[in-house]
């Protein structure tokens, strides 16, 4: 059985919230463990260290922002992102620094 990107994202988000090991979560939810573990590795691996985020993908907010600073690098992240979007951005920032 194949899953769409949206379905995979849903499974991965639910797995993160569960706090369980990927293998155990997959078995409990009727997924093929080897396949699911592969999804988790692809999901966490940054392509070039940074992920391009198109302005149209983010809501225009004139409210609070999160500021992430490391050396001379300053990244402003608007509040209001989903947990999945924020996690992806922060994981890629961490992997790049």
Query: Would you give the DSSP letter of residue 66?
Result: E
Query: Would you give the DSSP letter of residue 47?
Result: S
pTM of the model: 0.45
Distance from C-alpha of 26 to C-alpha of 71, rounded to nearest angstrom: 40
Average pLDDT over residues 69-81: 76
Confidence class of residue 56 from pLDDT cuts 50, 70 and 90? Answer: low
- Residue predicted with more confidence, 9 or 55: 9
Distance from C-alpha of 47 to C-alpha of 39, rounded to nearest angstrom: 14
């Amino acid at each position: 059985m194949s899953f769409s990107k949206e379905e995979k994202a849903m499974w991965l988000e639910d797995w993160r919230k569960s706090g369980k090991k990927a293998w155990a979560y997959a078995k409990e939810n009727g997924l093929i463990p080897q396949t699911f573990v592969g999804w988790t590795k692809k999901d966490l691996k940054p392509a070039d260290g940074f992920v391009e985020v198109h302005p149209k993908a983010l809501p225009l907010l004139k409210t609070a922002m999160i500021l992430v600073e490391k050396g001379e690098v300053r990244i402003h992240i608007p509040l209001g992102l989903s947990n999945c979007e924020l996690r992806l951005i922060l994981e890629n920032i961490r992997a790049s620094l």
